[in-house]
Amino acid sequence: MATLTDYLKLHFIVLLWGFTAVAGLLISIPATEMVFYRTLLAAFGMMVWLAWRRESMRVSRKDFFYLLGIGCIVGIHWLTFFASARVSNASVSLVGFATNSLWAAILEPLAGRQRIKRLELLLGLVVLAGLYIIFSFNFRYPLGLALGIVSGFTAAAFSVMNARLVRRISPERITLYEMWGAWLAIVLFLPFYQQLWAANYQLRLVPALHDWFYLIFLAWGCSLYAYSAAIHLMKKLSVFYIQLALNLEPVYGIILALLIFGEKEKMGWNFYLGTVFIASAVLLYPYLRRATSRS
């Protein structure tokens, strides 16, 4: 039976994930170099964890390449998420990412060759209305919001893929190879990034001393610890409740960003009104889905 400690731990995990956009802004190196180190540290950390627990790292050759491919999508997800925060701010990045559950509501039935339900389409229109309100009235960060939405889409894509894989491969091995896949994607992207977007065509692969603290925190705290702890909580808490709590990540993230960055994170009324539309659709979706399934 779940205890108060279990519920508090779940919200602490969601708080950690909400802090990722804020931590990304506190790191001095650019988003691409930051994801390079985050994926490398996460992959290495999971390898050490599995070796310490003497758990098998073996997967079939087919699964190996499939997991690396999904890892590339994870790399794109993190790149667009942190780039969104850099070209706008943490609040805009988190609002764009908040569309991930509705993307999943569309992608999951398509992957299972099922019809998309009217409820998902209706809530999708609510999200589009929220985005329209934000983009109208001279919104300052259209590129940042667009990158955040791409981040939400890719997060939904690899989540739908992993939902099928986890039936026969342990979450730890999935994480291990997908982190290596994400790191490989960044390595392959670096030459193009250097020629097209890097300042003065130079990569910044030497983080400042304080950067290492946030990089390790992102890799081991927000990735490895939070992920493994959430898996353990599934033994006591329902999946429905966990998913509902995860939808609070943008809310926690925006509150943290306001507390840390203050005036920089304050937006016009249209941003907050549009955010209410998006957050309402995201938060209401699990409840409405359960209610309609009973009727």
pLDDT class of 123 with cuts at 50, 70, 90: confident
* Residue 213: pLDDT over 80: yes
Q: Is the pLDDT of residue 244 over 70?
A: no
Cα torsion angle, 178, 180, 185, 190, sign: positive
At residue 295 the predicted structure's pLDDT band, cuts being 50, 70 and 90, is low
Alpha helix ranges (H) inside the chain: 4-18, 20-26, 31-52, 61-87, 90-97, 100-111, 118-135, 142-165, 171-196, 209-216, 226-233, 239-246, 249-261, 269-294
**pLDDT score for 266:** 67
Determine the average pLDDT of the residues in 244-270: 72
Looking at per-residue pLDDT, the higher value among 45 and 294 belongs to 45
Q: Taking the alpha carbons of 97, 101, 107, 112 in that order, is the dihedral positive or negative?
A: positive
What is the CA 51 to chain-centroid distance, rounded? 27
**Nearest partner of 14 among 215, 277, 255, judged by Cα:** 255
Separation between Cα atoms, residue 261 and residue 283, nearest integer Å:
26
Mean model confidence pLDDT for the chain: 82
Which pLDDT value is given to residue 243? 58
Residue 277 to residue 133: CA distance in whole angstroms:
9
Q: Is 240's pLDDT higher than 60?
A: no
Give the per-residue pLDDT at 274: 79
**What percentage of the chain reaches a pLDDT higher than 90?**
23
More confident residue, 19 or 290: 19
What pLDDT, on the 0 to 100 scale, is given for residue 103? 82
Output the pLDDT for position 1. Answer: 67
**Which position has the higher pLDDT, 123 or 193?**
193
Residue 198 has what DSSP assignment?
A: S
For residue 113, give the nearest of 155, 160, 149 by alpha carbon: 160
160-189 pLDDT tens trace = 888 778 778 888 898 899 999 999 999 999
Q: Report CA-CA distances (Å) from 208 to 34, 89, 217, 224, 253.
A: 11, 21, 15, 23, 24
| Spatial distance between the Cα atoms of 278 and 92, rounded to a whole number of angstroms | 12
Domain boundaries, the chain: 27-192+266-294
CA 57 distance to own-chain centroid: 25
Residues 283, 182: Cα–Cα separation, whole Å: 29
- Does residue 239 surpass a pLDDT of 60? no
pLDDT in tens, 17-55: 888 878 888 899 988 899 899 899 999 999 999 999 999
Are 163 and 170 within 8 A, CB to CB?
no
The single-letter DSSP state of residue 166 is: T
Q: For tokens 């997991």, name the residue.
A: 67
Q: What percent of the chain has pLDDT over 70?
A: 88
Can you give the pLDDT at residue 181?
Answer: 95
| pLDDT value for 188 | 92
The pLDDT value recorded for residue 242 is 64
